[in-house]
Structure 1
Amino acid sequence: MSSQVPIWVPIVVALLGFAGVILTQMLNARRENRRWQLEAEREELRWSREQSSRSREARAAAYAEVMGAIEALDIVLYEGRRAREDGKSLGELVTSDIREATGNTRRALGPANVHAPEAIRDLMPKAMMPRIRLSRLVLDPASEPTGMRSEWDAGQVGYRVLRAEMRRDLGLDAEDLEVVHAQYREKPAR
């Protein structure tokens, strides 16, 4: 009777096998959970980077639109201001160009206001309000050209500060603002 196995041996072996299966399932489930969490974290990071990239692209496009609109306005304002300071008539073409450029600049501010951080939104009026006042002075034939230069200078400083902050926000090189202020304190360019 030495060939017979006691009944407890197969029961123990079965229990050990069952415990092994359960333990393996638990380890696999734990490993799968960790893999799923890592995948979710990677996906969240990818989505965050994508959102950041889209946001940066939107800000860059909005800033470029504002800069282009302001510079286009400056071209016609400069021409109008110089004509008025020299006592000349503006002419219908310059008048309509100033009105159109002023409207385009106002419209360009919308996307920048949506995408720009608060610090840049606070700088936009400092760049725009002198230009708006200057355009009114230039377009009003009854106004004296004496205040035009100060509005022009204020607008130029405001724009250069705004442009520098926009470039910094995008991670680009930016003009030294101390130089800007020093230039306009000393002798502004005509």
Structure 2
Amino acid sequence: MKKLEKCIIAVLIVVAIGCASHPKSSATAEEIETLNKLVSEKSFEIQANWANPLATGSINSIANAGLLPPGSTANRIDLSGSASFLRVTGDKVEANLPYFGERQMGGTYNNNNTGIQFEGVPKDFEIVLNKKTQGYTMRFTISAATETYQVVSQLTPSLSSTLNINSTHRTAIWYTGRVRPYAKE
């Protein structure tokens, strides 16, 4: 019986050590410097690769009907080949992101503007260093026409990003993508 107890304790210790989170970032000094430069210059773009809407009944119906791009599911939609971005240039932000989800309030009849699109100087803009990941958290609020968006983005030294968008008129959605330098064309 003592042997069994010792084995169980040993297994629990190994599991606890294996499951412990690693407190240090695995980013290289070069990756951290690249991200620091992009953030300090305020000239970068997040290229969205995947949209992650809330899997509501409507989105599930669309997925079941086969209307999503190949390789996509109701809660993870491939954006390959689309010009999906959030851009920061100085004090301005601009976004052109497709939207998949439900509109909570009536919208306009303009079929050309169904995605999340805004451009201008945001309110409460901040980019804060995340010491644990050596990345940054970017937050701001911006209005476009009759809609207001609250945006929170995590920027990592590996130049990957998550972008969460909450709207006054739509269900929440988040995107994953890559951070890259922005150079005006």
Question: TM-score if structure 1 supplies the norm length?
Answer: 0.22
Q: Which has the higher contact order (CA 8 A, sep 6+)?
A: 2
Computing the radius of gyration over CA atoms, which structure comes out larger, 1 or 2?
A: 1
Identify, as 1 or 2, the structure richer in helix: 1
Identify, as 1 or 2, the structure richer in strand: 2
